[in-house]
Amino acid sequence: MLDIHINPFIHIKDERNISFDAFMNKCVDCGNKEALYRKGMVNFFRNENPDVALELIDKALKGGHDAATYGFAIISIFLGGEYSREGVKTIGEMLRARPS
């Protein structure tokens, strides 16, 4: 008889995923901008401790990661209030700074 999960979206960790997670965590610990950005975005949209996720994205953008700057601005816009104004301001600055 086949062993089929009722919920097809159950995530089963295998050895490769565990190794990848360990590698990404090591990269984050070393301050790798791309790893900070990726882990922050994934954790934010999985709703896994969004405050920590935003801190990771913030570290990446402070390190000069362009996609992190854009991602943080978009997230800020959707958070609303003062965050929204800062997000719009950041995107405006990015548009003005891009080459013609």
Is 3 part of a structural domain of the chain?
A: no
Q: Which of 79, 5, 75, 81 is nearest to 40 (CA)?
A: 75
Residue 7 covered by a domain: no
pLDDT bucket at 42, cuts 50 / 70 / 90: very high
Range of 32's domain? 26-97
The confidence score (pLDDT) of residue 56 equals 96
The two structure tokens encoding residue 56? 């990771």
Please check whether residue 43 lies inside any domain of the structure. Answer: yes
93 in a structural domain:
yes
**Contact criterion met (CB below 8 Å) for 68 and 36:** yes
Q: Provide the pLDDT for residue 10.
A: 54
Burial status of residue 70 (CB atoms within 10 A of its CB: 0-12, 13-18, 19 or more) = middle
Q: What is the pLDDT of residue 18?
A: 74
